[in-house]
């Protein structure tokens, strides 16, 4: 797949990223190189390779016990708030 200047403009429009006129050709070349590399990855034979969740063989993530704790910590949490009313944080109005 070849990436040209019009494709870069379309991608930048969809991503809502402004790309300067002088940078479009360079970006098209970079994107084209990335897509070429991805096409090379598709040529790798992965038949019979088991999915991995880690790059280290036999790595197991530590697990913690799922314990139910005492809830209702609202008063403790609201003590950190600069202002609270009726059990809620009070924040400045940002939309008029």
pLDDT tens profile 2-26:
888 999 999 999 999 999 999 999 9
Q: Are strands 88-89 and 84-85 parallel, antiparallel or unpaired?
A: antiparallel
Count of the separate structural domains present in the chain: 1
- Residue 24 in domain: yes
pLDDT digits (tens, 9 = 90+) for 33-76: 999 999 999 899 989 988 877 778 777 888 889 888 878 889 89
Q: Where are the beta strands (DSSP E) in 4-92?
A: 84-85, 88-89
- Residue 69 in domain: no
The domain of 25 spans: 5-42
- Residue 11 in domain: yes
């Amino acid at each position: 797949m070849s990436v040209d200047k019009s494709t870069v403009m379309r991608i930048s429009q969809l991503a809502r990223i402004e790309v300067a006129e002088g940078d479009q050709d360079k970006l098209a070349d970079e994107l084209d190189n990335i897509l070429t590399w991805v096409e090379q990855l598709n040529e790798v034979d992965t038949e019979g390779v088991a999915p991995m969740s880690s790059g280290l063989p036999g790595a197991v993530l530590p697990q913690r016990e799922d314990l139910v704790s005492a809830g209702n910590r609202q008063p403790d949490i609201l003590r950190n708030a600069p202002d609270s009313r009726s059990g809620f944080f009070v924040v400045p109005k940002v939309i008029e």
